[in-house]
Amino acid sequence: MQTDVQKLQTVLNQAVENARQSSERGQVAQYIPELAKADPQKAGIAITLDSGETIGAGDWQQPTTIQSISKVFTLALCLGTMGDNLWARVGREPSGSAFDSILQLEHESGIPRNPFVNAGAIVVTDAILATYQPKEALGEIVRFVQGLAGDDQIFIDGKVAQSEEDTGHRNRALAHYLASCGNLHNPVEHTLGVYYNQCALTMDCAQLSRAGRFLAFAGTLGPNRQQMVSMRRARRIAAIMLTCGHYDGSGDFAYRVGLPAKSGVSGMILASVPGIASIAAWSPGLNQSGNSYIGTQMLEYVTNEMDWTVFS
């Protein structure tokens, strides 16, 4: 489907202008010291189209860590090796609770509600370690994302990873509880080390929109439709993004934006417009559910103006 690039650029520019005029910005993530340094006035958005062309507006070329959006890529890798066997260890239902809830994990006997809450992503990372040693797993994750984006400049921010490890007490609690239930098969320190580092993958909006393009095009990339993941896997990942990608704010996001998407506490959001485009939006201030306040506003404006939704 052809998209009017000139119209789209105008819409992106206006989305950023609206963001700059907003008096409410949300709150940056205070519990990770490196993320607490972010400027909540920043806002950027980028879109990669079927042709591979990427356009953007605002602070769309400023790198930041993608945080929980990395869970999309590790889930794709894990399903590639484990297939449906993964679902014996993690569910596929919306949580209705905070992304780091211990109470929910205890109530459900150590089976995380979905792969995008922290406990679920820790299980996915642990499952990847059945095939790779920790350093090899990190290398495989980075190479996979670089390949999707077509960009070998994507890297892990060591300072942010260390900051997350230094303050990751709740994630350690989740991991130890998972281990106590027999749902963690590797040493806690090994699994969490990979988890903290994958969350510190660093990209700008342009790179992230390119890396997520396979979700919009049935697992393929480029004019030759190179199959990066199977069509079925891409479809299933997008389905979980729609229902679970914004934690206990997923329903509100689906209502307002109407697209499969995944958020991160750095203020990044990756969204997919099936058959049309991949979108990355960023603004560091978060709402009460831990999702970008301004990023959601920008995506709502763009999807309304372009009439992009999976519900039409």
> What are the catalytic residues?
68, 71, 195, 247, 265
CA pair distance 267, 212, nearest whole angstrom? 16
Are 20 and 298 in contact by the 8 Å Cβ rule? The answer is no
